[in-house]
Structures are given as C-alpha cells and as structure tokens.
Structure 1
C-alpha cells in the first residue's frame, strides 16, 4: 500500500472543507472531546467531502464509528489499540494505522499487522505534552529498516523546510497539524506542503 507523502491532520470537517479542495489526498479527522452524535455528523461530513475530492479519510481513535459509517481507514494510539477489536476492524475491511514512540510500542504495533506505522515526535512539538523526547532523523532511519515494506509516517514538529530530511531518512509520509492549522494563512501553507511533497510522490 502506498500512502500519500502529505498527511494532513485536522480536528473538524470544517477544516477538511477548507483545505482538502486545495489538493490534499490524505487527511485524518482527529476529534478528542465530542459526543457520539456530534462525532457521527463530523465523520459523515468529512467522508462526503473526501469522496468528492478523491481524498483518503482516516478516522482517529473511533474505530467503531469508522466501521459503522463505512470508512476505510482508522488510526489508533497504543492505548486505543489495547481496547480495540482488531478482528472486527479487519472483518469490516477497515485499514489500520498505528502510533509508535519506542521499541516496545513498535513491536506491539507490528504484531497487530497494521497498514502503516507512525513515529513521533520527530522534532519538538507543541501539539500535546509528550513523555518522549524528539526522536530525530536517525530514529526514522532505524524504524524504516525495521518495518521494511510497511509505510512509515513521520509526525511531530514538521514544516516544509524539514521535509527533505524526513523523506531522505526513509519516511513515506509526513504528518502535519499545527504548522498548518496555526499558520496565519493555512491555505497558502497547505499549498506549500503540497508543492514540497509533490517531488516525493
């Protein structure tokens, strides 16, 4: 399976409506605090928008809703993975991405037979408090050697200037949140990311 090199992560269908039409091909909907009805509405809106613009939608955490709403990709952190029904996910044909931060988590992730593995934070990140120090490009290289054919997503502190480094180290895709959503011109920044990642397609 080939992942698009530009992996946008946003927390609402409104962001998807705003940025996906610019040419985004891979987007994760990551909503942390919302009731189930609200989540379902957001997922439905996001799914319709992504279908219209030929963009791959990934649902973060909420694998049951991903199954129920007919989504074809879910992403889980390690804690969510412990409580997930992998057989149900597989039976529904939902592909799976998993977060990893250290060796033990990578072993756990690979055992779950995911469709891709994410490593982070590569650089310092302001998105959330991390108990892990920045992993650095050498860790990206090591991870790619260890997972071989599985696509590797790099995340954490990435910006257009750092992209060549992570791709040259072996990442297949670069994930971004705040470099775009906190930018004064998210549309222009998204175009910059698309232009920069085009050469890695």
Structure 2
C-alpha cells in the first residue's frame, strides 16, 4: 500500500463510500474456499474487506498468514481496501490497508500509534460513550452494533436495535459509521436510513448459495436506503 493510497481511502467521503458493503470473513466462516468467496463478493460489489480469523476452527500460524496474504492480493488486484481484525503485527507484515479493533482488543490509541497515519483505523462501538472514545483515539470509522441478533460472533453482545444509530447522529456524530450484526438484504436499507453509511456482514454473503448475487442484493438495498435518506433531507454527513 502506498501512503498516498492509504490517505486517499482515509478521506471521509471516500471512506463513507467504501463502507457501503463491507465483508468480514475468516476461513471458518466459509462454506467454500475463502478465496473463491472473496472473488465472488468482489464481483458483486463488495467495497471493503476485513480478514477476521477468530473463533472455533480458526487458522493459526503459517496457515493464517498464508491465507491473509492470498486474500490481501485479491483485494489489491481489485482495488478493495483490506483490513485486518485485531492483529497489528499481521497487518504490518502483509501491508494491510488498516486494522479494526473491538472494545476488548488492543487499545485503539495504541493501534493508531503502531499503524501510523496512512492506514485506516476502525473501532467497534456499542453506544455513544464508546463512539466518542473511539474518535478521540483516532478512529477513521466506527462499527456500531450488533444491531440485530447474531450467532456468527461467539462473543457478541445483545442486539441494540437501530435506535442507537439514530441517537448517535442526533447527538452530532459525523464520523463514518458501518452497521454490524445480523444484517441481511432485507434489513440493510433500514440500517442506512437510520444513519449508517453502509453495512458489514459475514454469513449474509459467506453462507449464501450465490455469493455474488447476495452481495448485489446488499449493494442495492444500501443504495436504495441512501437515496431515501437523501430525499428526506440527509446532509450526506450522517
């Protein structure tokens, strides 16, 4: 990743667009070869990818590094930002475009210090207080949720509902936001209308019979939600 490319992706307007359909995935989330799943989702319009190799059956050591490198090259080939979940060492080793951390992971301010200013930093936030702390720590975007019930992440909190997004925007937060947790093409539009700039998913794509078609459905739902919000007077910042 060149510093110029990294900084370009960190521009707020560019980042909002990149968050529209954000795939999170590790090998243990896939029913097929992970590289094939990623290829199909990119063809369908995935705008950002996060490598999250955690939980039961996750790869470790050289196997983890090998898969991360392979998926990184696919993203680089297609111009899709590649984010690593909660592993700064791995992110730096494969020249990832950024890192995402949760509230129980490495402290966000320390992650920012380690990855520098060119790379993207995403931070999970469950409520307003966590969102404000993430911003102070240097986050470029926040992942808010889980908005709906999900069983994909073994350590997931209870669902917050969409009101948390509306409250964050009502209280003046203008940082790019991606909704997380239990999102499907059927509710993705609601998430965007409530204030998110896009949606992040795992099984909605990785467990789909046709990953490309599932991604296209999510992309359509997000764009329709953005259009509705714009028609309702959204300023583009929320």
Equivalent runs, 1:157-196 vs 2, <5 Å: 157-196=182-221
Instruction: Report deviation, 1:68.
Output: 2.5
Report the alpha carbon displacement of residue 82 of structure 1 after superposing the two structures with TM.
Answer: 2.7
Q: Specify which of 55, 61, 68 is matched with residue 36 of structure 1.
A: 61
- Tell whether 2:93 aligns with 1:68: yes
2:187 aligned counterpart, secondary structure: helix
Q: Hey, what's the Cα distance between the residues in 1 that align with 2:69 and 2:155?
A: 31
TM-superposed CA distance for 1:133, in Å, is 2.6
For residues 163 and 70 of structure 2, what CA distance do their matches in structure 1 show? 39
Shift of 1:146: 4.2
The alignment yields a C-alpha RMSD, in angstroms, of 2.2
Task: Provide structure 1 residue ranges, at least 5 long, that are not aligned to the other structure.
Answer: none
Structure 1 Cα separation of the partners of residues 147 and 69 of structure 2: 32
Question: After the TM superposition, which residues 101-140 of structure 1 pair with which residues of structure 2 at under 5 Å, given as runs?
Answer: 101-129=126-154, 132-140=157-165
Give the unaligned 5+ runs of structure 2. 1-11, 28-33, 228-238
Other-structure match for 2:25: 10
1:64/1:166 CA distance change after superposition, 3 Å? same
Contact 1:121 1:132 in 2 (8 A): yes
Query: What's the TM-score once normalised by structure 1's chain length?
Result: 0.87
Aligned length: 200
1:91-106 map, 5 Å: 93-106=118-131
**8 Å contact from structure 1 (residues 21, 53) kept in 2:** no
Secondary structure of residue in 1 paired with 2:220: helix
Displacement after TM superposition at 1:142 (Å): 1.3
